[in-house]
């Protein structure tokens, strides 16, 4: 990091000694961690997660409940800035190994949970459960099964909810051959979800696993088929379907421009408007099974591959692309077998778009990460927050799981401490910014009087931080001051931070 003391010329003594930057990339730790209130060994809480508004829903598909691996899903609500567990949901008729919670999605007061081993209709045919918040509690309103269920179809493997449409996959259905896969579309009519259409890939074949992941955005549906043999065995693909009225039609099949055997392109998918992201976690772009993610953009009605994303430090076996999410100009990718904090401890990466190009902005990992946590098993973007699941994180017992929240604001200023005594060192850290680009720390208020006095203009260090610090002089005791920083972000845009206040005690 770039480091200096606060300027003697500009109010505080001792100034402008610049220390060499530490080597590395932008790596950030969490703002908050949530765990299930009754978590137990092997629950795998954090395998899937979904976010919307003030809600976070986390699946724990291997939670035992009444029976082994019957599964559960937990609802957390943001109240006064803190995320509080509001409800634990389970099937009304739980059975062993249903895996209720294998998939989740939420929008407003509607929540959907998949249970792809549910046996009510046929063994492992699968089901999905709809819950609605009635103003007081989450109430299960409907159990959904396929209109034409099949043995081991695994209906409920993935779910996607938007408005009056709900997509549910049965990725091992056999319509076009064993395990070719399918997706069912349901439409909400007078409060009830009614099956509208069943989708198959136009060129589907045995073993494609069409429906391993789903994403809905407006009138577009993106479906992953990660074992599709497009050019070589298991290269994978993804399909875009578009709705006209109440009918869905295949618009285009997406494949990687550098598709190779075993890449499993389509293992994870996300779509937001005219941008689609497809994970390919066994891609060998940076070493065997290092992984990659591909960004497509819809231009004039045609989807065009824009960019292959590989993290700056992606290495062999990281499986970058296990999970993806895109919202506006922010994109997140999970790499659950990254080894920074131990074997398969995991990591996630944030990319930001500027001028049509996606630039790696930061890497996130947990402050308490450890081997085999599988941090990065799920990702979800919610405004200025990124949520990341860590499905094998050990709490009091093994593999309970957890979820972490990270601040995604492109540039922030942190004061430590916010109440500083005479002689105590005050540190002001601005981050993240690209190494070598300048950042300015500015005094904007002192003792209630507006100011605009630059205290330091320094480059971001190699760890993407600019840090300024100095002992507090006795002459400032009893006063307060406010600071703001300005700097280039990784996308080359000048950003300003929120104002940070410090009291001199």
Planar angle of CA 181, 183, 186, nearest 5 degrees: 160
Lookup: tokens for 393: 């994180």
pLDDT at 14: 34
Residue in 497, 482, 417 with CA at minimum distance from that of residue 449 = 482
Note the pLDDT of residue 21. 36
Strand 500-504 relative to strand 419-420, pairing = parallel
- Dihedral through CA 255, CA 259, CA 263, CA 266, nearest 10? -10
Q: Report pLDDT for 232.
A: 94
> Contact at 8 Å (CB) between 490 and 360?
yes
The number of helices, as runs of H, and strands, as runs of E, in the chain is 0, 39
Query: Are the C-beta atoms of 59 and 49 separated by less than 8 Å?
Result: yes
- The pLDDT assigned to 92 comes to 85
Going by C-alpha positions, the residue among 42, 25, 96 that lies closest to residue 394 is: 42
Under-70 pLDDT residues of the chain: 1-25, 489-493
Q: What tens digit of pLDDT does each residue of 222-271 get?
A: 999 999 999 899 999 999 999 999 999 999 999 999 999 999 999 999 99
CA–CA distance, 101 with 48 (Å, rounded to integer)? 8
pLDDT of residue 20: 32
- Starting at the edge strand found earlier in the chain, the sheet holding 155-162 runs 155-162, 165-170, 182-189, 192-199
pLDDT at 489: 67
The pLDDT, as a whole number, for residue 491 is 65
Provide the terminal-to-terminal Cα distance of the chain, rounded to the nearest Å: 28
The model's pLDDT over 287-311, given as tens digits with 9 standing for 90+, comes to 999 999 999 999 999 999 999 999 9
Q: Are 294 and 280 in contact (CB under 8 A)?
A: yes
pLDDT of amino acid 369: 96
Residue 22 CB coordination number (10 Å): 12
What is the Cα–Cα distance from 427 to 488, expressed in whole angstroms? 20
**Quick one: how far is CA 219 from the chain centroid?**
22
User: What is residue 421's predicted lDDT score, i.e. its pLDDT?
Assistant: 93
State the residue for tokens 């408005």. 163
- The CATH H-level superfamily of 2-26+411-504 is Immunoglobulins (2.60.40.10)
Q: Return the pLDDT at 10.
A: 36
Per-residue pLDDT at 431? 86
**What's the pLDDT at 391?**
98
Domain with CATH 2.60.40.10 in the chain: 2-26+411-504
Q: Which strand ranges, in their side-by-side order, compose the sheet holding 268-272?
A: 268-272, 275-280, 292-299, 302-309
Give the pLDDT score at 435.
77
Cross-strand pairs, 249: 242
User: For residues 315 and 332, is the Cβ–Cβ distance under 8 A?
Assistant: no
Pairwise CA distance, residues 129 & 266, whole Å: 25
Q: Cβ(349)–Cβ(365) under 8 Å? A: no
Predicted structure pTM score? 0.88
């Amino acid at each position: 990091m770039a480091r200096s003391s606060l300027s003697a010329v500009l109010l505080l003594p001792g100034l402008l000694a610049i220390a060499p930057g530490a080597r590395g990339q932008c790596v950030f730790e969490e703002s908050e961690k949530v765990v299930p209130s009754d978590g137990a060994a092997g629950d795998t809480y954090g395998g899937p997660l979904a976010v919307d508004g003030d809600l976070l829903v986390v699946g724990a598909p291997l939670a035992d409940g009444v029976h082994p691996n019957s599964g559960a899903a937990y609802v957390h609500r943001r109240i006064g800035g803190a995320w509080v567990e509001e409800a634990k949901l389970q099937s009304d008729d739980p059975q062993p190994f249903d895996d209720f919670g294998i998939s989740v999605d939420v929008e407003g007061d509607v929540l959907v949970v998949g249970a792809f081993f549910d046996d009510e209709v046929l063994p492992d045919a699968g089901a999905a459960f709809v819950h609605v918040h009635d103003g007081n509690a989450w109430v299960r309103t409907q159990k959904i099964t396929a209109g034409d269920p099949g043995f081991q179809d695994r209906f409920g493997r993935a779910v996607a909810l938007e408005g009056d449409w709900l997509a549910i996959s049965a990725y091992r259905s056999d319509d076009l051959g064993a395990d070719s896969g399918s997706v069912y579309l349901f439409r909400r009519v007078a409060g009830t979800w009614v099956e509208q259409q069943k989708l198959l890939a136009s060129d589907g074949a045995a073993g494609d696993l069409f429906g391993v992941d789903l994403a809905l955005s407006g009138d577009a549906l993106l479906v992953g088929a990660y074992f599709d043999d497009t050019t070589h065995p298991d290269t994978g693909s993804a399909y875009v379907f578009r709705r006209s009225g109440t009918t869905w039609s295949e618009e285009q099949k997406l494949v990687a421009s550098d598709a190779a055997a075993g890449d499993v392109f389509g293992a994870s998918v996300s779509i937001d408007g005219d941008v689609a992201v497809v994970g390919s976690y066994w891609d060998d772009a940076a070493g065997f099974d290092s992984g990659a993610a591909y960004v497509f953009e819809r231009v004039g009605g045609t989807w065009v591959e824009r960019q292959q994303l590989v993290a700056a430090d992606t290495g062999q076996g990281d499986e970058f692309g296990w999970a993806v999410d895109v919202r506006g100009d922010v994109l997140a990718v999970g790499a659950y077998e990254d080894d920074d904090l131990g074997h398969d401890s995991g990591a996630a990466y944030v990319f930001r778009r500027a001028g049509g190009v996606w630039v790696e902005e930061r890497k996130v990992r947990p402050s308490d990460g450890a081997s085999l946590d599988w941090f990065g098993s799920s990702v979800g973007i919610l405004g200025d927050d990124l949520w990341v699941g860590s499905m094998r994180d050990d709490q009091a017992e093994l593999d309970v799981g957890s979820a972490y929240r990270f601040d995604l604001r492109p540039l922030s200023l942190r004061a430590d401490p916010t109440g500083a005594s005479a002689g105590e060192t005050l540190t002001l850290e601005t981050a993240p910014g690209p190494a070598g680009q300048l950042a300015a720390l500015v005094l904007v208020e002192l003792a209630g009087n507006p100011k605009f006095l630059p205290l330091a203009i320094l480059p971001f260090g190699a760890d993407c931080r600019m840090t300024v610090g100095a002992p507090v002089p006795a002459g400032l005791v009893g006063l307060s001051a406010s600071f703001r920083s300005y700097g280039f972000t990784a996308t080359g845009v000048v950003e300003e931070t929120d104002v940070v206040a410090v009291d001199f005690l």
